[in-house]
Amino acid sequence: MPKATAPRLLTEERRREMLSLLDRNGRVTVEELVKRYNVSAVTIRTDLEVLAKNGSLVRSHGGAVKLLSPNHDYPLPVKQSLSHAEKVRIGRAAAQLIRPHGTVIVDSGTTTLELAHCLKQRPVEGITVITHALSIATTLADVSNLTLVMVGGVLRQISGSFVGPDAERMMEGIHADQFFLAVDGLDPVVGLTTPDILEAKLNSLMMQATTETTVLADSSKFGKRSVSVIAGMERVQRVITDRKAPEHMVSDLRKRGIDVVVV
């Protein structure tokens, strides 16, 4: 009995220490944990999976992060590591919707950044892209046969996006064919939400400035509610999400006439 109990206790102690480390730093990687505890990567991944299933952390690409609250914003590197494969598929599906010579607004966010990567790899002829996100603008800056319009204002460093009165005034004079919106929360009752009030206001104006709004939201955003409401679901024409999205919510959106694309 003692021999069988000892490894389990050591495992539990390691996992508790991993959670303490995560609480202090906000994120951990498999590589650093392997070096710290001198165990295999398989062992560390197993630890992280168990802790994720217990609701103690969120698995990310190459490691884990603290449980995320929809009421708080997080740096782009943290967001980029979450649901990465799903975001790539969603971004690819969104890029296929863009028509030649059209005008599109692209919101800030890690899923919309995947859309921008697709446009860089396979440019759509003669399009105009309007964005307030530095990451989107930087990605598309050298794409040929593409007109890039940067919305200026006050820079939110945590998201790398421009917001505020100047950005809002600029949007009032713009019209686009399509708007690709990234959200922190998608709730059938409350609607689309984000942690920042200024970001929400600008997003709402972007919706008003376009003919068609497509929301890019991986399944982790479904049922979440953040502080600032962007708009109700009645202002959305399409949602692109992944296969883990709750079936009852997908069905509800479709009953409302919203086109839900599952990738």
State phi, psi for 210 to the nearest 5 degrees: -130, 160
* 166, 232: one domain: yes
Total domains in the chain come to 2
- Note the pLDDT of residue 4: 47
With respect to residue 72, please indicate whether it lies within any of the assigned structural domains: no
- Note the pLDDT of residue 169: 96
CA distance 147 to 105: 12
CATH number of residue 53's parent domain? 1.10.10.10
* pTM for the full predicted model: 0.76
* 55, 88: one domain: no
pLDDT in tens, 101-141: 999 999 999 999 999 999 999 999 999 999 999 999 999 99
* 146, 118: one domain: yes
* Residue closest to 178 by CA, chosen among 209, 135, 199, 143: 209
With respect to residue 254, please indicate whether it lies within any of the assigned structural domains: yes
Q: Please give the residue that has the higher pLDDT: either 70 or 37.
A: 37
Q: CB of 170 within 8 A of CB of 146?
A: no
pLDDT in tens, 151-187: 999 999 988 999 999 999 999 989 999 999 999 999 9
* Residue 217 structural domain: 80-262
